[in-house]
Amino acid sequence: MLLQLQQVLPTYFDLSRSLTSEVWGKDLSFQKGELVKIVAPSGSGKTSLIHFLYGLRLEYQGTISYNGNASKDLSIEEFSKYRKSHISIVLQDLRLFPELTVWENINIKRQLNPYHPEAKIKEMAKQLGIDHKLNSLCRLCSYGEQQRVAIIRSLMQPFDFLLLDEPFSHLDNNNARKAMDLMLQEAKSREATVLLADLERIEFFPYTRLYHL
């Protein structure tokens, strides 16, 4: 599995932006199993990059390809099917269902394309300290608890690439480390790539490649 970025630049950025970025306007390739850290100051397009990689937005020049297939050449339905087996994500705005319980929010992803049995939900929830919240509505959970729900949800499907957009912004250092350990365990078992975009370098993410956006 290979992810390639070829001269990718948001359409709303001036071409000069590629002169100071190690990502925008560059040719990059990522193989399965890599741990990629992207340090992205506010306003540099961090969330846009994650959205481009996941196919949520297409306002960019250049090409993003998975295994030689340009994502822009795929229909919405085709790319959705591809994501279901190969790409998972933790979005900055989480996009949970507020009127569903924590369990339902996690299990709905598992049901779409199961990688783990249902029992794994409780195990992971306990590991991240939210097992007592499984029957609570998501809207009644703190933002930090919701972040952990989104993290567990992302691990319910098969994936070769795990995209993370500021996944620890509302977690203290201890809970962030626990969440990172869980994601790294899951990525290692699948030989998957983790691509983490955040405002600063996170010391407990053992990246193999580092870029400044």
Q: What is the CATH number of the domain that holds 153?
A: 3.40.50.300
Given this model, what pLDDT does residue 85 score? 96
pTM: 0.96
Structure token digits, residue 167:
């996944």
d(CA 85, CA 22) in angstroms, rounded, equals 29
Whether 125 has a pLDDT exceeding 90, the answer reads yes
Of 39-43, 85-89, 93-97, 145-149, where does mean pLDDT reach its minimum? 39-43
Residue numbers of the domain that contains 177:
34-56+84-212
Distance of CA 110 to the CA centre of its chain: 16
On whether residue 188 sits in a domain, the answer given is: yes
On whether residue 17 sits in a domain, the answer given is: no
On whether residue 1 sits in a domain, the answer given is: no
- Among 199, 202, 195, smallest CA distance to 213 is for 199
- Kindly state the average pLDDT of the residues 40-65: 95
Q: At what angle do helices 102-112 and 143-154 cross, to 10 degrees?
A: 20
What is the tally of structural domains in the chain? 1
